Amino acid sequence: MNILISDRLSTRGVDVLERGGFTADVKTGLSRDQLLDVIGNYDGIIVRSGTKVTADVIDAGGRLKIIGRAGTGLDNVDCDAATRRGIVVMNTPGGNTITTAEHTVALIVAMSRKIPQASASTKAGKWEKSAFMGTELYHKTLGLVGLGQIGAYVATLAQGLAMNVIGHDPYLSGERASALGIEAVDLDELFARSDVISVHTPLTKETRSLIDARAMALMKDGVMLVNCARGGIVNERDLHAALTGDKVAAAAFDVFEEEPVKPDHPLLGLHNFICTPHIGASTEEAQENVAVAIAEQFVDYFKKGVTRGAVNVPSVPPEMLPQLHPYLALAERMGCFQSQLVDGGIEQVTVEYGGEAAALTPAPLTVAVLKGLLAPILQDTVNTVNAPLVAKKRGIEVKEITGGDAGEYASVIRLSLKAGDRRHHLTGTLFDNKEPRIVESDAYAVEVIPDGHMLLIHNVDRPGVIGIVGRILGEHDANISWMQCARKTKGSDALLIIGLDGPPPARVADALKAQPDVLSVRLLDLSRAL
């Protein structure tokens, strides 16, 4: 097997490939045209953030079987194009945990003591002791938005500085938060109580501009902000206004909405803003970790047929895929559906397999459920390989039950979640052994194709409600593709599930919630599920 390494990679990773019997060609700095010329000679390619593995590169790689990213982010890889070509895409989640957490804390300390500004002043021949009055971190409150591997380790380091740590993560149970020594709070409370706020979430449509003018208005005067996660989570324009006013005392960024950041970016001209050029993962140890990890994953895939760290295929033996694939799709879509209906941290997940599904190997199906549950918020950082570990680190107890009664169906998957003091139930099956359907949601009998965009509305069972909902959707140009009504008994609360041709405007939910007969509204997006 010939492997192309097109970005700088630790020699330890190259050594792993060569010991495995591969030919590893290190060709860094290739132009797009040069990459297109040579990619057809290789069975796999390993990149970092520099090489853009676009659809045309993938199409030119007639021999490509695997694309590996020595790191976490896959913004530079067209995963959809790779999937269409049957090419496995792998990354190395977790390899940058320690170094990114350490960089976060380094920025917090540097920001609180104005170290970069004081260093620049001293090097300029000044001695301005009174100009750089700092702030102690001792017994200050650190608010962590996101408590995955990096956020949890930042908490550990901050506790070593005797900081009080509070955190918000919709997938972290209260029990797990307590074990980490973190007080779990809702987001607005975190904003209001924190002296320092650090974000550790992926960039998704839900987290883009998560910290904006509204959020900053809730914060203490003199709060400090850190972003070593992804550019765009903190609204840069709103931050500039807060830094030039009296609200935010200082901010420190390792990431920006647009990178490389432009020299005339307004934030760069502020004395109370410090930054680094996306170097959170740039340590020798981290680069060795991800290089060795991706090389070992390549060896395992080509020599043993074992898929680890894959983001676009389930980790099951290839000969099992034809039989398992429709069930994997059902399982992931059920998880994705249920995840978007739950408030609070998930504490327990029970997956029951009945009928023909009970005869299958349950492990990959349960993993698919977990991926579906976690992906709506964590997105690219969770996959079919690391989903169980991610769930474990969040204190989610996972149970499997096989041999249950399938009732009127040939096979069923039942999903039960415990979140806080509530339990949620979902049942799915396959029609004609291949078409996923949800047939029960919290005791409401339904028949829903779990795909695309939909609205889930609980409403008073009263004439005219459906007409009101249809009118509001029409007023917002949200086209209905299908509709499902359900109720448990006559006169009880009803469930209305509406399939839409595309994502509705966010204001649709507010307009629906304003109706007296509408009890709750959820916008569901299953368009990215398997």
Active-site pick, 69, 278, 333, 414? 278
Distances (CA, A) of 321 to 43, 66, 350, 507: 22, 18, 23, 41
Catalytic residue among 128, 206, 258, 259: 259
Distance CA(423)–CA(443), nearest Å, equals 12
* 84 part of the active site: no
Token pair belonging to 63: 């021999």
For the question of residue 259 being annotated catalytic, the response is yes
What sign does the CA torsion over 374, 375, 379, 382 have? positive
Q: Are 387 and 371 in contact (CB under 8 A)?
A: yes
**401, HSE (Cβ side, Cα atoms, 13 Å):** 13
Q: How many CA atoms lie within 13 A of 315 on its CB side?
A: 22
| Of residues 400, 414, 422, the one with CA closest to residue 347 | 422
| DSSP character at residue 131 | G
Three-state SS string over 178-237 comes to HHCCCEECCHHHHHHHCCEEEECCCCCCCCCCCECHHHHHHCCCCEEEEECCCCCCECHH
- For the chain, the farthest-separated pair of C-alpha atoms sits apart, in whole angstroms, at 83
Q: Rounded CA gap, 378 and 390, in Å?
A: 10
Please confirm, yes or no, whether 528 is among the known catalytic residues.
no
Label the pairing between strands 44-47 and 23-26. unpaired
Q: For residue 164, give the H/E element and its range.
A: strand 164-168
* Kind of pairing between the strands at 44-47 and 397-404: unpaired
Retrieve residue 284's tokens. Answer: 């020798």
Return the closest-CA partner of residue 376 out of 225, 201, 117, 160: 201
Q: DSSP letter for 310, please.
A: B
Set 69, 168, 176, 230: catalytic member: 230
- Encoded tokens for 388: 């169980």
Instruction: Tell me the CA distances in angstroms from 351 to 222, 413, 415, 448, one per residue in order.
Output: 47, 7, 5, 19
Question: Residues with catalytic annotation?
Answer: 230, 259, 278
